[in-house]
Structure 1
C-alpha cells in the first residue's frame, strides 16, 4: 500500500511524486546538483569559469574570422550556450560555444550570402538537434565508429590549419578549399609580410611552450603559476599582440594586419532572420533554407558527434545520457540564434581547460558567459588591435592539438594482426 502525501484535500502517492521529480531532474539536471551546491564548489567553478572565459574570448573572435563573420559574432556565439547548458546539460566538463569545425561548415554560406545565413543555420540546427533529443534517437550515435570520427577530426583540423597559413604570413584575402589555401600561399610567396610572419610564428612557439609547462593545480606556488600560464596561453598571446600593435600605432607605425573595427555593445535579443537581402536580392525563409540545403542536416549531425564525443571522453566511465545532451545542445543553438550566434557545439579545447581547472558543476558556465558578455559590451574597441597573424596562430595550434595521429598506428596494427 502506497504512502500518501496530503495537501489541500488532494492525495498524491509518494512513489508518483518521486517519479515526477526524477523526470524533472532528468530533463532539468540543474535540479539534481543545485540543492547539494556548496561554497567550496562555487569557488572551484568560478576559477574554472574564469579560466575558460579567457580562452573562449580569443578563440571566439578567431573562429568568427575563420567563418568569414565580423569578429564580434564570435563573442555573440560564446555566452548563450553557457547559460542554457547550465540548466539542461548533464555533464560538468562540457563547454558549448563556437568551434573551428562549425566555422568551417558555415564559411561558404557567409562568404556567398552573408551573416544572416549563419544565424538561420544556427536556429535550424538547434531545431533538428532538439527534435532528435526529444525523439530519443541518441542510439544512432552508437553506429558511428571511432575511426570515422577520428578521420573526420584529423581531416578537418588539417583543412582549417591550412586555411590560416596565408593569414599567418600576412597575405590578405580568403580561401575556400584546402588546395586553394596552399595555392594562395605559393602564388603570393613574394607578398609575405615579415612582421606578420615573425609575430605569427612567435605566437605559435609561445603557445606550444606554454602548453608544455610542468604546472600543477595543487602544487607549490611556482607550479600553480605555470599551471595558470599554461591554461591562459591563448589570452596571453592575444593580449600581448594587442599591446604590441597598439603601442606601435601610437607612433604611427602599423606593421601588422589587424582585426579592425568591431561593433560595440551587446547583440539585440530578437528572432533569427527568416528573410534577408544579399547581393541586392531578397530571400524569404524557404529560399534561405533552399540555399542552405544539405547543411541543415549535416551541421546538426557533426555538431552532435563533436559534442557527444567530447562528453564521452571526459565522462571517465560514467554513463552519459546522449538524448539529454542532444536536447541541451539543440536548445543552446536555438536560443543562441536569438543573439546572432553561429552554430555552436561542445569545444574540445575549452572543455579540456574546464576539466583541468577542476570544475565541479556546470555552474562554471555562468562565469564564462558573464566574462564573454563583459568583453562584448566593454572591450570590443580593444579587440580592434588584435593582429590577424596572432589569431591564425591560435587556430593553427588548436588544430594541431586536435590531431589524433595515434589512431592510424592502432588501425595499422589491427590490420597487420589480421
Structure 2
C-alpha cells in the first residue's frame, strides 16, 4: 500500500507501507544454513581448491628420477645436519634432548603433503626454541607440548580468517632489530656449552651473569673441541669459493677440473654433515672406552612417544594444574610464539 505525505505546498513523498515484518521460521533458518554449507562444500570439492590445499597432488605428477636423486642427496645432507641442530635447540628450549629429535622430522613429514613453498624450513628454530624456554621455564615438557599445540591451533585459525596480512604492518627495522637481538641471545645461550659449564638465565643479562659466576669451572676439552668445530665450519664454508681453474666459467673447465671443483663444492656444502659424523665417532669412542673428557648428551630413549592428545592438565608440585592454569603459567608466550613462528617464514 502506498501512502502520500504532504511535506510542502506542492511536494509529496510516496511511502510504501510493508506492513508487519514477517518472522522467519526455524525451518527456514536451518534451510539457509544448509544451503550455505552446501555451497561451500561444492566450492571446496573443486579440483582447484583441493590442489591448493594439497600441493602434493600438483608436483607429484611431474616428479621424476632426477628430482629424486637431488632430494636424496639433500635429504641425507640436511638430515645429518638436523640431528645435532635439533639436539641443540632442545637444549635452548630447556627440554630433554629427545624432544628436539621428535620435532625435527614430524613437521617435515606433514609438509610433504601440505607445503606450498620449497624454500620454507620446517622443524625447530632457534628463535622459537628460545621463546619456548622463556614461556615454559621451570614447568617441564608437558607445558611445552601444550604450547606447541596451542601455537598450531592459533596459526591455523589465523590462516582461516586471513590474518596473515598482519605481517604487512611489521616494518623492516623492527624485524631486523628483533632478529639481531635474538641472535645475541642464542649466541649467549651456547657459550655455556662451549665452555662446558652449568649456567642458566632467560635474558641476556641473566645468561652472562650466570656464565661469569661459573666461568672458573670451564672444562678444557669441551672448549677446545667447541672452538675447533667452529673454526672448521668457517674454513669449510670458504671452500665453496675455491676453484681449481683460472677461468670462472664452467664451460672452460677440463673434465678433471670439473670433477675436482664439484667435489670441493660438495665438501663445502656437506660441512655440517661431515663434522657431525666425525664428532659422532669421537663421542662414540669416548663412550666405549668409559673415558669421557667431554660433556656428552648420553643415551636417549629409543622409539617414538605414543600418539595421543596434548596434556590439558599436569602435576604441578603437590596438585594437578588444569588447562587454564597451564595457559596462565605460559603467559604471553601462547600468543607471541605463533606470531613469531609466522614471521620467521615470511
Q: Name the TM tier (shorter chain).
A: 0.7 to 0.9
Assess, with a 3 A threshold, how the Cα gap between structure 1 residues 220 and 292 changes in structure 2: closer, same or farther: same
Residue in 1 that maps onto 2:153: 127
Give the gaps of 5 or more residues in structure 2: 1-41, 243-249, 251-256
- Residue 308 (structure 2) pairs with residue 270 (structure 1): yes
Within-5 A mapping of 1:70-219 = 70-214=96-240
Within-5 A mapping of 1:16-415 = 20-214=46-240, 220-308=258-346
Q: Is the 8 A contact 1:63 1:100 kept in 2?
A: yes
Secondary structure of residue in 1 paired with 2:320: strand
Assess, with a 3 A threshold, how the Cα gap between structure 1 residues 266 and 276 changes in structure 2: closer, same or farther: same
Superposition deviation, residue 17 in structure 1:
9.4
Q: Is the 8 A contact 2:200 2:206 kept in 1?
A: no
**If the length of structure 1 is used for normalisation, what is the TM-score?**
0.66
CA distance in 2, matches of 1:279, 1:232: 46
Number of matched residues?
292
Superposition deviation, residue 19 in structure 1:
9.1
Higher RCO (Cα < 8 Å, 6 or more apart)? 1
Superposition deviation, residue 127 in structure 1:
0.4
1:43-87 Cα distance to aligned partner (Å, 9 max, x none):
222222222212111111110111111111111001111121111
Q: Which runs of 4+ in 1 moved over 6 A?
A: 16-19
Query: Greater shift after overlay, 118-127 or 17-26?
Result: 17-26
Assess, with a 3 A threshold, how the Cα gap between structure 1 residues 193 and 18 changes in structure 2: closer, same or farther: closer
CA distance in 1, matches of 2:47, 2:61: 13
CA distance in 2, matches of 1:165, 1:174: 11
1:64-120 Cα distance to aligned partner (Å, 9 max, x none):
111111111111001111121111111122221001111101113443100011111
Secondary structure of residue in 2 paired with 1:274: coil
1:143-173 Cα distance to aligned partner (Å, 9 max, x none):
1112211111111011110111122111124
Q: Is the 8 A contact 2:80 2:276 kept in 1?
A: no
Assess, with a 3 A threshold, how the Cα gap between structure 1 residues 238 and 37 changes in structure 2: closer, same or farther: closer
CA distance in 2, matches of 1:156, 1:18: 40
Assess, with a 3 A threshold, how the Cα gap between structure 1 residues 138 and 243 changes in structure 2: closer, same or farther: same
Assess, with a 3 A threshold, how the Cα gap between structure 1 residues 276 and 231 changes in structure 2: closer, same or farther: farther
Assess, with a 3 A threshold, how the Cα gap between structure 1 residues 109 and 277 changes in structure 2: closer, same or farther: farther
**If the length of structure 2 is used for normalisation, what is the TM-score?**
0.79
CA distance in 2, matches of 1:259, 1:110: 22
